[in-house]
Homo-oligomer: A and B are copies of this chain.
Amino acid sequence: MGQEANSDGTVGKALDVLDMVAARGKPVRFSDLLAQSAFPKATLYRFLQTLTNQSMLTYDEDRGTYALGVRLVRLAHTAWAQSSLAPLARSYIDELAVESGETIHLAQMDQGQVLYVDKRNAATPVEMFSSAGKVGPAYCTGVGKAMLAFMPDEAVEKALTRQSFHCFTPQTLDTPAKLKSELQVIRAQGHAFDREEHEPGIICCAVPIISRVGRVLGALSMTSTTHRTTLDALEAQAGRIKDTAERIATAAESWRFPEQD
């Protein structure tokens, strides 16, 4: 299962190892990793040692397993604060969530995948990391399609090669062709729908967040369930969502990090 050889030398390889550990989603043994990595035993071993030393991984003595380390959590806090739209967009999202009473997602594109960076739900309190940091498929989520529709062709093509086109529900657009024609429609109307394409009963309306120079910064979606509302009702909110997206884009534009000298 192609963990493709990386071109970034030693550091790249070490980071691949990190990803391998992350991919399992649970603590993993040396031999498990060895089995699926192209690295020889000694090499993999050294990487694990180094990463553990660096607190990028933690080693559980008792069980002999490696897991992602807490240093990542620390770094991510800063990453999230300084290179995601979330801190900037917070107040706008809050407002939208309260007014609509529906769940709002803020997402960005990361290597062809949708990365959720924030989530707000007027009713239930936020579930910390359980949503921020989560990734999802781009081809069958509202936010994913909204972003793809407004990205340059070249970037879209590249992203398409990374999609699995797994068919989650009968509504899933499971071929590049279907998806591309949908993107046309989205581009025309300015917002995307998720018509239970990812999960049955879950629908959403999403709009892209686009910078003044036309770059897709992220996307915003309002999510609900089929037994609470309808697509038409969500579409009625599209203008409101678009408005919020625009305000976020403007905020992002004018935002300068405070210069300190």
Chain A positions within 8 Å of B, measured between CB atoms, are 6-12, 14-15, 18-19, 22, 25-27, 47, 50-51, 53-56, 58, 67-84, 86-87, 108, 110-111, 115, 117-118, 125-130, 132-135, 257-258, 260
B132 near A53 (CB under 8 angstroms)? no
| Chain B residues with CB below 8 A from A73, complex form | 76, 79-80, 84, 115, 117, 132-133
| Chain B residues with CB below 8 A from A54, complex form | 6, 8, 11-12, 15
Chain copies in the assembly?
2
A132 near B126 (CB under 8 angstroms)? no
A11 near B10 (CB under 8 angstroms)? yes
**Complex: A68 Cα to B257 Cα, angstroms:** 14
**Complex: A50 Cα to B74 Cα, angstroms:** 21
Partner of A81, one of B25, B53, B76: B25
Query: Nearest B residue to A128 by beta-carbon distance?
Result: B132
B50 near A12 (CB under 8 angstroms)? yes
| Chain B residues with CB below 8 A from A127, complex form | 126
